[in-house]
Structures are given as structure tokens and as C-alpha cells.
A and B are shown apart, each in its own frame.
Chain A
Amino acid sequence: MRRSERVTTIVEPRQEEFERKRGVTGIAVEEGLIHVEVQVPPDLRERLKIFKALAEAGISLFLIKFHPDSIHFLIRREVLNKAQKVLQGLNRPTKVTRDCVLISVLSSAMRDLPGVMARIAEALYEQGVELLETGDSHDSVMILVKRSDAEKVVNSLRQKFGL
């Protein structure tokens, strides 16, 4: 399964039988990501100004999250300079965390699978790793950690999910 050219699949979901196996079947990682936090009040019009400015500069964002007093998102390393210029122009306090790794726990039917988030939270807690951000979709739960933590998190997740 190729999720993206930038993503490395650590544990490839195997298709041994006719229908895909249920449960967690793989882990993928994406490196070279920058986590950006921009302080902005919850007013959507204020938040729109930031998204619009970044869009006009042609910068793609992902793992976007709304927080009570800020918005968080990921950008790729290659657009960091351009993004920083845009954000400086907006005059909002900004925190940038470089060298982040997005780890995705994969399943073909995450919405039918209770307890995945529990085991991920356990793995992070046991390793004492700071979770920078989380996200989820129907086929993955994503966690963002610092690069220095990535290896132990992946190992812990492999153990938790028997991969």
C-alpha cells in the first residue's frame, strides 16, 4: 500500500486472505515535518486570515487542529522559509517545532475498532513521550512526535499491536 511517496511504511499491511484482516495492520512514518502553532483567538474570521495568507503563498497544510487560543498545523520542511515569511507578516505569536515525525497506525476500518487510541496513549505514556498532536481518519490514527522520540514510539506501538 503506497500512501505517499514521502511516507515510509514500517509495517506493511499484509493481505493473506480474501478480505483484509481486521484490527491494526500496519504502521507508517513520515519525516521532515514542521509543526506550527499560531496564537489566534477562536474567531473564525481571524483564523481565516492565516489560512488565506498561507494558501496565497501556495503552502499546503495538514493535520490542522483548532485549539482554544491557537491553530496548529503541519508543513513540509521545504516550505518552512516561505511559511515563516508569511506568518511574520501576520504579526501573530508563532511557535515552530522542527524535525517532527508523523506516525500513523493503520487499519482498514478504524471506526469499527474501539481501543486503538487507548493503546496508543498507553504506549506514549509508558515511554514518557510528549505528544505534539493527534489526528484520526477512517483508516489511521496519527500521532506527531519529535524525531528523537520516533523510534521508541514505533517500537512500543509494534509491541502494543503485535506487529
Chain B
Amino acid sequence: MRIIVQKFGGTSVATKEKLFIAAQKVVRAKREGYAPVVVVSAPGRKGDPYATDTLISLAKDIDPQVPVEPRELDLLMTCGEIISIVLMAQAIKALSGYKTIALTGGQAGIYTDGNFGNARIVRIDPTPILEALQKDYIPVVAGFQGVTEHFKLGGHGQITTLGRGGSDTTAGAVAAALKAEACEIYTDVEGVMTADPRIVGNKARVLPSVTYEEVSEMAHLGAKVVHPRCVEIAMDHRIPVWVKKPDSENPGTVIKERASDLPEKMFRFTGVTNLPYVAHLKVHVAHQDDLPEIETEIYRLLGEAGVVTYFVGKSKNLFEFAIVRDNLEKVRSLLDGLTIPVSVNRHSRLYLLTMAPNSVAHRERKRMLSQIQPRLEIVDAPVEVTTNCAIVSIVVLNTREVPGIMARILEALIDANISVLQVADAQHSVSCLVLEEDMVRAVHALHDKFELHLGVGEKLQTL
């Protein structure tokens, strides 16, 4: 049996017309001799009637002061996908007469841990889907959901949701469990592109083939094409992934090679990504010897508050990090006015962190501390915040083997009159922290500089 998993996102099931376009892809696969297994997301985008966020707001609106239990929230959130599986199963049947069966995550044998809202798949029992296929049904599986193995209430496992990238994750996992020939992810774009076409327009090119690592890097750095969790499962289980558009005859992008299987001398300039809504913070510490203690305490507080840091770095008298801007108020409330006592080399100092060194509040805090601790040296630790930042990255297969990437990046950004606040490089990317107002120009500048519009990203090169 040649099994193929086909995943359709929310927009593909949002209207009757789009539903039939998606269903045609399934019917065609069946007619070509494949045994298709379909995975679907909740219909529509953010704000639509059955989209996940709309469902959540139904419960939260009952009384915003009373939190909804995560277990109940998961029950509610799985409704959108359940609507989609019934509609998709119906559309396929109406279009072709083929037998279909709609399956929730639990009915499809997807078992997760009990981490409501962000569950991890621990096991897939392929039996229900395989039995359906053997009886010539087309199974239509609800994405984003599973069920726990532990029976607690009513003899059933608890319904869970998989968190971010949920339906892509379901597709990759089901494909792996069934040892499918391929996993097709249908999305709003023609495939994995060299940049966001909403930014660079028709200069963006579809990449015919990329490695799992490149597409994972792109997704982590802001490209919204396929979720890295799906890529990770597909890579670990060696399942080829295709990224395609439902209403297009173009072949899309295939992801089937591992970068780690290629010689290190091979490289490729793959694409440019962008990630807005970032804030950059620098903590200035007057005495270099005191920096490690302050740094440790601040990272501890941020970690406890659930704040993830990016672009971490330190110099003689400062350390710096970036955060998602949504966390800025939380970080401000943690750090502004925070006092950290430091004892190094028989010196004791009390550092007073401030995001507004000239404010009345800061001066007043300092005055009060001086009264309470007259013998202690009170030292300002200004926290410099740049609120509106963005991360613009060039994804390069085997970055570290290729000389001159930073020089080309700086040339491009200098020519575009763009300042760079910080840089960071990883195994397959180099990222720049820029002001958000410069983000679009930075994407254009890098895309042009690395000649991605000329098809450079489409082939591997050798050093």
C-alpha cells in the first residue's frame, strides 16, 4: 500500500469552494494508486467563527476573571478540527463517491502526554488508520489533537491539544507512524520560498528542494511555511515532506535530505527570513567583577517568569539579550526598581536596576535605599531598552564553512543605510537585530545581495 499523508490548513477548509479544491487533491492521489490519509486544521484564520482563538474566547468571555481549566480549554479547542474532518470527509465523498471516515486524534490512535495545551506525542497506534485503509476508506484525521493513555474519568483518555504547529505535527507524526511514502503539507504559498512574497513580491522564488535543517531554520526564524516540529519528526523518521499550494499545479518544494548527510563543503544561500516584535535590552554594570552575579540573578528571574532570551551576549560592563516584545511589560515589572546585592572581593554593593535613570521614581527609590542602608554603596544599573526591533536572517546551509557571509550582509545593510544592533550566527543562519522600521528594507537588501531572486538558492554549491 502506497500511503501518502495530505495535510490541509485552515484556509483550505474555510469555504465550500476551497474544501472541494482540497478534496480534488485527495481524490487525485487515490486515483493515482495512493492510499491517502488526510489531516485537517480548524476552518478559517484568526477571528473566523470556528478558528481556535474564537473558540477560546467563547469560554473566556463567560467571565474573564475566572480562568478556564486547561483540560476544558483543550476540549473546546479541538472542536474546530472536528468540524473540519466531517466537512472534508463529506466533500471527498460528494466529489468522488469514495468511502471516507472522519477520525478525532484519539480515534486515529494518537497518544500524548498529559500536558494540556502543549502536549507531546508519545505513541501512535497505526491500527485504526491501517484498518480503515484496508477497508478502502479514506481516513480524515483531526489535526492538533490527541488523547492521553491514562484512564481517569469515564474510562477514556483525556483529550489534549498539541500546541503550536499542531496540525503540521499531526501530519508528520501520522506519516511517520504509517511509514508513508510522503507527507504533503498544503499551504497558502507555492512552496518553501526564498523570502516572504508579501515583502519581496515576485522576487521570491520557490525552492525546489531543501534539507530538513534548512527549512527548520527558516521556520524558527520566522518563515511561516511548515512547523519545525513536523520537520523534526519527518527528519527523525526519514519521511519526505512536500510543501505545496492546493490550487496550483506547480510541484512545490520537497524536503527529503539531511544536511548532516551532505559533505560539509557543500553550502547554499537558502533564503531570508524576518521576525518582528522583538525588544532588545542592555544591562549596564559599573563594576566588571560584579557582572556575573547580576547576570545570573537576572537570567534566573527571567527563567522563572517564563521569559526566553535571544541574542544573549556580554561585554566588559554590560550584558544584553533580546525578548519577544509581548514579554516586555513582564520584564519591565521584574527589572525596573529591582535591587541586587553583590559581594565580590570584600566589596558589598547594592545594584539598583532602572529603565528610567532620570525619573523621579528612580531618584526616590535611591534616596530611600540610602536611608535604609547607609553603609552600603548603592549603584545604578541602567537597563537600556530598544523597544521596536526585528530579527532579519539569511539562512545558509553550513554557514560556518563559508567565508565572507558577514561582509556581504554588512555591505548590503550599509548600502541600504540600516543600522545593526547585534548579530548572531548558528549552524545554518546568520541573523541581524535591526530596528523594526528597517526590517522590510533589510529583507530586500539581503535578498538582492545574495542574488536569491536569480535562483541562487535553488542549487547547492561546493567550496
- A4 lies within 8 A of chain B by Cβ: yes
Please name the residue on chain B nearest to A22 by beta carbon. Answer: B120
Interface hub of A68, A117, A133 (most chain B Cβ within 10 A) = A117
**Is A89 in contact with chain B by the CB < 8 A criterion?**
no
How many B residues have CB within 8 A of the partner chain?
66
CB of B438 within 8 Å of the partner chain: no
How far, in whole Å, are A61 and B414 apart by their CA atoms in the complex? Answer: 20
In the assembled complex, which residues on chain A have CB atoms less than 8 Å from the CB atom of B429?
137
Supplied contacts A19-B229, A114-B305, A133-B313, 15 more A-B pairs, CB within 8 Å: A5-B264, A18-B173, A19-B121, A44-B420, A55-B406, A62-B399, A115-B300, A117-B303, A117-B309, A117-B312, A125-B295, A131-B314, A136-B310, A138-B220, A140-B426
CA distance A115 to B209 in the complex (A): 36
Residue pair A60, B400 in contact (C-beta under 8 Å)? yes
A32: shortest Cβ distance to chain B, in Å? 13
| Closest CB in chain B relative to A104 CB, distance in Å | 10
Bitwise interface map of A from 100 to 128 toward B, beta carbon under 8 Å scored 1, else 0: 00000000111111111111111011000
Sampled A-B contacts (10; CB under 8 Å): A1-B260, A3-B427, A62-B400, A70-B315, A109-B228, A115-B299, A117-B303, A118-B304, A121-B296, A133-B313
Check: A64 CB closer than 8 A to any chain B CB: yes
For B424, list chain A residues within 8 Å (CB): 135-137
Q: Is the CB of A17 within 8 A of B123?
A: yes
A62 near B220: Cβ-Cβ < 8 Å: no
Cβ distance A79 to chain B, nearest Cβ, rounded Å: 9
> Cβ of B55 < 8 Å from any Cβ of A?
no
Decide: B264 and A122 in contact? CB cutoff 8 A.
Answer: no
Given contacts A114-B306, A136-B312, contact A48 B400 (CB under 8 A): no
- CB closest residue in chain B, given A115: B303
Structural contact, B300 and A122, CB atoms closer than 8 A:
yes
B contact set with A: CB distance below 8 Å: 120-124, 169, 173, 176-177, 216-217, 220-221, 228-229, 232-233, 236, 260, 264, 292-293, 295-296, 299-300, 302-315, 318, 321, 399-404, 406-408, 410-411, 413-414, 419-427, 429-430
B422 touches A66 (CB 8 A): yes
Q: Please, which residue of chain A has its CB at the minimum distance from the CB of B428? A: A137
Contacts of B410 in A (CB 8 A): 44, 47-48, 51
- Max count, chain A CB within 10 A of own CB: residue among B169, B229, B420, B425: B425
Q: Say yes or no: A114-B402 contact (C-beta < 8 A), given A48-B411, A62-B425, A125-B296.
A: no
Task: Check if A39 is an interface residue, CB within 8 A of chain B.
Answer: no
Pairs of residues from A and B, 8 with the lowest C-beta to C-beta distance, nearest first: A115-B303, A55-B404, A137-B426, A138-B220, A118-B303, A118-B299, A51-B407, A121-B296
Does any Cβ of B come within 8 Å of A65's Cβ?
yes
Q: Is A92 part of the contact surface with B, judged by Cβ < 8 Å?
A: no
Instruction: State the CA gap A67–B304 with chains docked (Å).
Output: 28
Given the contacts A5-B264, A52-B407, A65-B422, A45 and B414 also touching, CB distance less than 8 Å: yes
In the complex, per-residue mask of A120-159: 1 if CB is within 8 Å of any chain B CB, else 0: 1110110000010111111111000000000000000000
> How far, in angstroms, from A120 to B309 measured CA to CA in the complex?
13
A11 within 8 A of B: no
Shortest distance between the CB of B399 and any CB in chain A (Å): 7
Q: Which residues of A contact B124 (CB under 8 A)?
A: 18
Partner of A60, one of B122, B401, B413, B422: B401
Query: What is the CB-to-nearest-CB distance from A80 to chain B, in angstroms, rounded to a whole number?
Result: 15
The contact size tier of chain A is 35 or more
Chain B residues near A64 (CB-CB < 8 A):
406, 423, 425, 430
Q: How far apart are the CA atoms of A9 and B216 in the complex, in Å?
A: 21
Q: Which residues of chain B have C-beta atoms less than 8 A from A116's C-beta?
A: 303
Q: What is the CB-to-nearest-CB distance from A76 to chain B, in angstroms, rounded to a whole number? A: 9
* Selected contact of A59 from candidates B220, B312, B403, B423, CB within 8 Å: B403
With A17-B123, A62-B399 in contact, is A137–B427 under 8 Å at CB?
Answer: yes
* CA distance in complex: A51, B407 (Å): 5
Is A95's beta carbon under 8 Å from chain B? no
A44-B419, A62-B400 in contact; A135/B121 too (CB < 8 A)? no
In Å, the complex CA distance between A102 and B185 comes to 37
- Contacts A20-B236, A68-B315, A125-B293 given; indicate if A51 touches B300 (C-beta within 8 A): no
Task: Name A129's closest neighbour in chain B (CB-CB).
Answer: B292
Residues of B within 8 Å of A81, CB to CB, are: none
* Complex partner residue of B308 from A22, A65, A112, CB under 8 angstroms: A112
User: By the criterion CB–CB under 8 Å, are A136 and B303 in contact?
Assistant: no
Q: Could you say which of A15, A135, A137 contacts B236, with CB atoms under 8 Å apart? A: A15
Is there a chain B Cβ closer than 8 Å to A93's Cβ?
Answer: no
Question: A63 at the A/B interface (Cβ < 8 Å)?
Answer: yes
Contact residue among A56, A61, A70 (Cβ-Cβ distance under 8 Å from B406): A61
Chain B, Cβ-Cβ closest to A110: B308
* A121 touching B407, Cβ below 8 Å: no
Q: Which chain B residue has the least Cβ–Cβ distance from A131?
A: B314
* Inter-subunit contact A111/B404 (CB<8 Å): no
Min CB distance A65 to B, Å, is 5
Q: How far is the CA of A58 from the CA of B313 in the complex (A)?
A: 26
Question: With A and B bound together, what is the CA distance between A48 and B405 in angstroms?
Answer: 11
Give the residue name and chain of the A residue nearest to B291 (CB): A131
A1 to B302, CA, bound (A): 30
Nearest Cβ distance between residue A103 and chain B, in whole angstroms?
Answer: 14
Q: Is the CB of B300 within 8 A of A114?
A: no
Q: Given A51-B410, A124-B292, check contact A20 B232 (CB 8 Å).
A: yes
A44 to B415 alpha-carbon distance, docked (Å): 11
* Residues in A neighbouring B408, C-beta threshold 8 A: 55
Does the CB pair A65–B296 fall under 8 Å? no
